[in-house]
Amino acid sequence: MTTVFFAGGGTGGHLMPALAIADAMVRLDGSVRPFFLGSRRGVEAHVLRQRPWPYALLPLEPLRRRQWWKNGSLPLSFVRSVRQVGRLCAEHRPALVVGTGGYAAGPVVWAAARRGVPAILQEQNAFPGLATRWLAGRAAQIHLGFPEARRHLKPGPSTVVVESGNPILPPPVPRPDKRETRALSWGLAPEGPVVLVVGGSQGALAVNVAVESALQGGLWPQGFRLIWQTGAGTYDRFAKWDDQRSVLVRPFIDPIANAYAAADCVVSRSGAMTLAEICAWSLPSILVPLPTAASGHQASNALALADAGAALFLDQSDLTGQRVAAELADLLSSPARLADIARAAGDRARPDAASRIASDALRLLSRN
């Protein structure tokens, strides 16, 4: 068996790419044994229990940019984690380490690379995270979710940089029929526009409030149906708008593919993995970046798509019920414009990203 370390977490946006790449590597080569390293306080502490791969949780802590006075324990947690990674390297002898970002990735990849383990980085965002920027010079391969990230990196002389896209579950082939999906999955009439509103798994309160304002004030475009994922935390506040005919309110949508297949347009935050899914489904979108996202990642992601003609950018400071209703009415009343944005989004899609990254990783393994 060939052990490959995977490091990435803190949030699902960093952990899920690692899981997708690991699954793809095992599909392509059954001798690969993924071993995950993450933080005791990250989402991986719960998710990895339900996965088949072995893992270790380290005393890693995030860098608190806004509350810098809480970083006092950071150096000690870093040293302890690096020592534990050293012991795990000696025990498991990994042939490769794959880092997918977040505070759980940096120390692990750095410690393994110091011991001669070849490193692969997968960066989801248009503006690379701290871990990727720090480790770029040590990596054998860097796989980018957004080509715009390249200009912010300083790779090593032998580092291979590949625009692979972000690893997601790709749309099924053939694509589901939109009219059938609306009727069978959602109980919606097949005719007329359908808008999907998502704010990530936790929802987006500002987006939800704007949608409610549009509905409450009679501003929501007439005839537009709505599939609305509020997030579990605020579902009770907005559930009253579900009329089971034209407005469908859900705390969380799983599988999300049924919603993408039914929609004509998406209103969303601009997390990297969500945008990868939107592009894979060739969907026009209105993107409202989370203003507090680390290093402005979400704004960079949304601007990258908007500059490519693949989405519309709406700053949260301009977000009102009237504005979001007007943007939707304007977009969905212009089939040619809608088609152009959908085409540009599809051009950015890399639905086979997980397999591409896994194949490149296996080629690297075969040379070592």
Query: Which pTM value belongs to this model?
Result: 0.88
Give tens-digit pLDDT for 294-325: 778 899 999 999 999 999 999 999 999 999 99
Residue 367 binned pLDDT confidence (cut-offs 50, 70, 90)? confident
Q: Are residues 124 and 9 in the same domain?
A: yes
Q: Sheet holding 96-99: strands in order across?
A: 55-58, 32-39, 2-7, 96-99, 119-123, 141-144, 160-162
How is residue 219 written in tokens?
């501003």
Q: How far is CA 25 from CA 99, 308, 359, in A?
A: 14, 31, 7
Q: How far is CA 163 from CA 17, 171, 278, 300, 350, in A?
A: 15, 20, 18, 17, 9
Strand partners, 312: 286
Give tens-digit pLDDT for 172-224: 999 999 999 999 999 999 999 999 999 866 679 999 999 999 999 999 999 99
The values of phi and psi at residue 348, to 5°, are -85, -10
Residue where the block lists tokens 């605020």: 234
Q: Are residues 255 and 229 in the same domain?
A: yes
Q: Are residues 22 and 100 in the same domain?
A: yes
The values of phi and psi at residue 148, to 5°, are -65, -20
* Total domains in the fold of the chain: 2
Determine the Cα–Cα distance for residues 261 and 241; give it in Å rounded to an integer: 22
Q: Are residues 239 and 136 in the same domain?
A: no
Q: Are residues 191 and 253 in the same domain?
A: yes
Q: Are residues 150 and 281 in the same domain?
A: no
Q: Are residues 209 and 301 in the same domain?
A: yes
Residue 192: inside a domain, yes or no?
Answer: yes
Give tens-digit pLDDT for 55-91: 999 887 665 556 555 554 556 677 777 888 899 999 9
Q: Which of 72, 120, 115, 74 is nearest to 96 (CA)?
A: 120
Q: Are residues 130 and 275 in the same domain?
A: no
| CATH number of the domain bearing residue 23 | 3.40.50.2000
| Cα 341 → chain centroid | 20
3-state secondary structure of 161: strand
Residue 39: inside a domain, yes or no?
Answer: yes
Burial of 68 (0-12, 13-18, 19+ CB in 10 A): exposed
Q: Are residues 251 and 120 in the same domain?
A: no
Q: Are residues 275 and 128 in the same domain?
A: no
Residue 173: inside a domain, yes or no?
Answer: no
Provide the domain limits for residue 95: 2-168+352-367
